[in-house]
Amino acid sequence: MMDLPFILNFLLMCAKAAGLLGFVSISVMFLIWWERKISAHIQSRLGPMIVGWHGALQTIADTLKLLLKENIVCREADKLTFWLAPLVVFVASFLPFVAIPFSKNLIAQDLPLGLLYILAVSSVGVIGIFMAGWGSGNKYSLLGGMRTAAQIISYEIPLVLSILPIVMMTGSLSMNTIIGAQKNVWFICYQPIAFLIYFISAIAEVNRAPFDIAEAESELVAGFHTEYSGMKFSMFFLAEYTNMFVVSVIATTLFLGGWQGPLLPGIAWFLLKVYFLIFVMMWIRWTFPRLRVDQLMDFAWKFLMPLAFLNILVTALVMALIK
């Protein structure tokens, strides 16, 4: 690729980005519809039914509505921060797609430090959320932003610690190498506890129930996006579902064997596993009530983190014994 002239390289990059952006938009539209359907059926309702087959085009109609809405900026808002926040949140959730291995060769750029890159860029999103909370000039938004910052920084630690045993076992941070190491046995069989810790922390990372104290409706109106409307609000929405996709991708890659599977092509297996994990997240959201702030912090620092350390220790001991 290095031999290509700069302009061709640039065009190729743009094409990849456009393709990924298209995939993200369609995937998010599908996920929003799916979540509404799942939540409805869990509550014995039908959910959207009017627009398209079983309401399948409902999200497109909603997107059009959001595009046409008035752009409201409140008087007390810190204008620049307020404007930039949704962009920061969305860009941070979109960047990891560069290193996501959809199939053996279907990967925008197989970075040697892919996993580190994904973790690094996706955690930038918290800055955007805090910017939104601060920039709105509203106490509910600020509280929501503060809570998110505290929560995401706390859960980042068990999240990374639960990934560490996998990296120790494979000795690599490249997504495709990790998938290749699971040719015979998925890592979830070796590391079930790490998978559980990862999955719980991941749900907290994407601010979803039961860890959605950042936008706790009953306490904070809508948390950090209280003052947002129209396209800026939909950016946050887009980012939330994109983030769900990204954390499920990491779980699939690290624990469920990525795109590997019999019969079906790689991308089908990959998307099946990812969407199954997203389904579990939705299922959890519509089952459990929200945790209190102190319970949330206790759970991360006093339970998940020691457990993750213990898991690393046991993995290291077993690895040393086997050698």
CB of 55 to other proteins, least distance (A): 11
CB of 295 to other proteins, least distance (A): 12
Q: Does residue 109 bind other proteins (CB under 8 A)?
A: no
Q: Which is nearer to other proteins, 109 or 287 (CB)?
A: 287
CB of 284 to other proteins, least distance (A): 7
Residue 17 CB: number of other CB atoms within 10 A? 14
CB of 47 to other proteins, least distance (A): 8
Q: Which is nearer to other proteins, 41 or 79 (CB)?
A: 41
Report the distance separating Cα 42 and Cα 20, nearest Å. Answer: 32
Q: Which stretch binds other proteins (CB under 8 A): 40-48, 91-99, 201-209, 254-262?
A: 40-48
Q: Does residue 14 bind other proteins (CB under 8 A)?
A: no
Please state whether 47 falls in left (phi above 0), alpha (psi between -120 and 50) or beta: left
Q: How many residues bind other proteins (CB under 8 A)?
A: 14
CB of 141 to other proteins, least distance (A): 31
Q: Which of 44, 218, 262, 322 binds other proteins (CB under 8 A)?
A: 44
Report the distance separating Cα 269 and Cα 279, nearest Å. Answer: 15
Report the distance separating Cα 82 and Cα 77, nearest Å. Answer: 7
Q: Does residue 41 bind other proteins (CB under 8 A)?
A: yes
Q: Which is nearer to other proteins, 42 or 314 (CB)?
A: 42
Whose tokens are 């990891």? That residue is: 96
Interaction mask 168-207, other proteins, x per CB under 8 A: ----------------------------------------
DSSP state string for 300-314:
IIIIIHHHHHHHHHH
Q: Does residue 65 bind other proteins (CB under 8 A)?
A: no
CB of 41 to other proteins, least distance (A): 5
- Written as six digits, the tokens of 103 are 């199939």
Report the distance separating Cα 250 and Cα 101, nearest Å. Answer: 10
Q: Which of 13, 17, 20, 49 binds other proteins (CB under 8 A)?
A: 49
Q: Does residue 43 bind other proteins (CB under 8 A)?
A: yes
Q: Which of 214, 210, 85, 198 is nearest to 141 (CA)?
A: 214
CB of 37 to other proteins, least distance (A): 10
CB of 44 to other proteins, least distance (A): 5
Q: Which stretch binds other proteins (CB under 8 A): 122-130, 158-166, 212-220, 282-290?
A: 282-290
Q: Which is nearer to other proteins, 96 or 158 (CB)?
A: 158
Q: Does residue 42 bind other proteins (CB under 8 A)?
A: yes
- Written as six digits, the tokens of 251 are 């779980």
Cα-based distances in Å from 241 to 115, 208, 314: 20, 10, 34
Evaluate whether 229 touches 72 at the Cβ level (below 8 Å).
Answer: yes
- Rounded to the nearest 5 percent, the helix, strand and coil shares of the chain are 70, 0, 30
Cα-based distances in Å from 148 to 68, 116, 208, 266: 29, 22, 11, 36
Residue 248 CB: number of other CB atoms within 10 A? 23
Q: Does residue 275 bind other proteins (CB under 8 A)?
A: no
Binding site for other proteins (CB under 8 A): 38, 40-46, 49, 283-284, 286-288
